Amino acid sequence: MQKARRIQKLCSAIFNEMEQLKQQVERSGIKVINLGVGSPDRPPAPHIIEAMHRALDNMENYRYPLEGKLELRRALASWYRKRFGVELDPVSEVLVLMGSQDGLAHIALAYINPGDIALVPDPGYPIYATSILLAEGEIYPIPLLAENKFLPELKTIPEDIARKAKLIWVNYPNNPVAASADRGFFSSLVDFAREYDILVCHDIAYCELAFDGYKPASFLEVPGARDVGIEFYSLSKTYNMAGCRIGFAVGNADVLEALGRIKTNIDYGVFNVVQEAGIAALEGSQEFVRENAEAYRRRRDVLVDGLAALGWEIPKPQASMFVWAPVPQGYKSSREFAMQLLHRTGVLVIPGTAFGERGEGYVRIALVREEDVLREAVRRVGQFFQSGA
C-alpha cells in the first residue's frame, strides 16, 4: 500500500537514532543521562493534582467536552491580563487546545494551500516545518544566527518571497536556541506582517522559565499585534503538566475561528478533568511557578558554569529549559560530537541539525535532570575531554 506523498518529507531520524543508540549504550552497562527530550521532570503543584482528583469523581466530566470551559478561558484571560497587561475576550480570543502542539500542528491547515509559502525559522522547533509540509505548503527558511542574537533578520527576506508568504513562525523564548526577544523586535514583526499581509504565529511556551529578573514579553503586548497574529501558550512547562495536554491559542478572533473550525472537525476537546486542573493552575498560587523557574536557573548555572570550568564556553540563556551549546573544536559535525559523547560517557544531547541545517555546529542540552545528575554529567564530560576526545 502506497503512502501519501505528504509524509515522505516528515522525518525525525536524528531523534529516533539517538533513542536507539541510548538503548545500545544502556545494554553495554552505561547508565545514560538523557538531556535530549525537553520533558519536565518535576511534578505539578499539589493543588493542581488535588483539583484533578476532585474532578475525577464528577461523572459529568466523562462526557464529550466539545469546547473549552468558559471558566478555563476566563482564567487564561485573567492570567494574561495580570502577566502581560493584555486584555483578551475569553469567548472569541481564547481557544483551548490539547497542548499547544495541537494548535501548532493544525493552524497551517486553516491558512496554507498547496504551494503557499511559509517563513520558518532555521533552526526551529520541528513542528513548525511539519505543519507546513502536512498542508503541502512550501517552506522558506529564515536563518537564526548568533551574530544577530538568533533573531530573524526580516529585512533580508526577498521582496518577492515576502509578498507571497502567508504565515511566519516565531518562538521566544526559543527552542532550541534558547534566545529571547524584546518588544522592539515584536514591533518590527508587526510592521512586517502588516506590510506583507502575513499571519504571525508566536509560540510562547517557555515564557515563565525565565531567570535573573528577566520577564519575557508577549507578542500581543505590541499595538497592532492582534490584527496580524495569534500566540500559542501551554501549561506544560510553566506548571509541569506536559502529560496532561492542555494549551491555548489567543489573539486574533478570525484566526482562532478558523483554527477552531479545523479542531471541531478533528476532535471533541480536552478532557474536563484536565481543564479543571488548568483552572486550578491559572487561578491558584503562582509561588510554585517562581520556584520552578528558580530550579531551572540553578540547573542552568550548574551545567553552564561546570562546563565553562572545563573550557567549554556556552552562553547562559535568560529563559527556556535548554542551552544551545557550540560544538567544541575538533569535530566534523554536531552529530559526530553527540554520538561520541553518548557512546563514551552516556550523556545524551541532541545534534543541532535535528532542528534544521543552520543547527550545524551546535547541540541542544535540556535542563531536565536534578542538579546532582547534571553535576555527574559535567564530570563525565570532563573525563571525555581529558581522554583526548
State mean pLDDT over 232-244: 97
The pLDDT confidence band at residue 301, using thresholds 50, 70 and 90, is very high
> Residue 247 pLDDT more than 90?
yes
- pLDDT over 70 for what percent of the chain? 99
> Residue 244 pLDDT more than 70?
yes
Among the listed residues 106, 68, 57, the one whose alpha carbon sits nearest the alpha carbon of residue 268: 68
Rg (CA), the chain: 21
Judge contact between 244 and 39, C-beta under 8 A. Answer: no
Q: Under CATH, what is the fold of the domain 5-43+288-386? A: Aspartate Aminotransferase, domain 1 (3.90.1150)
> Residue 5 pLDDT more than 90?
no
Please report the pLDDT score of residue 62 as a whole number: 96
> Residue 8 pLDDT more than 80?
no
Q: Is 120 helix (H, G, I), strand (E, B) or coil?
A: strand
Residues 6+ apart with CB under 8 A from 124: 144, 169, 171, 176, 355, 356
pLDDT digits (tens, 9 = 90+) for 31-73: 999 999 889 999 999 999 999 999 999 999 999 998 899 999 9
Same fold, 5-43+288-386 and 46-283: no
pLDDT digits (tens, 9 = 90+) for 148-176: 999 999 999 999 999 999 999 999 999 99
- Summary mean pLDDT of the chain: 96
Per-domain residue ranges of the chain: 5-43+288-386, 46-283
Please report the pLDDT score of residue 12 as a whole number: 64
> Residue 87 pLDDT more than 90?
yes
Widest Cα–Cα separation across the chain: 63
The pLDDT confidence band at residue 387, using thresholds 50, 70 and 90, is confident
State mean pLDDT over 328-342: 94
299 versus 4: the higher-pLDDT residue is 299
Judge contact between 385 and 310, C-beta under 8 A. Answer: yes
State mean pLDDT over 332-346: 95
Please report the pLDDT score of residue 95 as a whole number: 98
Q: Under CATH, what is the fold of the domain 46-283? A: Aspartate Aminotransferase; domain 2 (3.40.640)
What pTM does this model have?
A: 0.95
Among the listed residues 111, 184, 177, 114, the one whose alpha carbon sits nearest the alpha carbon of residue 146: 177
SS3 string, 212-263, reads CCCCCCCHHHCCCHHHHEEEEEEHHHHCCCHHHCCEEEEECHHHHHHHHHHH
Among the listed residues 125, 193, 106, 128, the one whose alpha carbon sits nearest the alpha carbon of residue 154: 193
Q: How far apart are CA 347 and CA 339, in angstroms?
A: 10
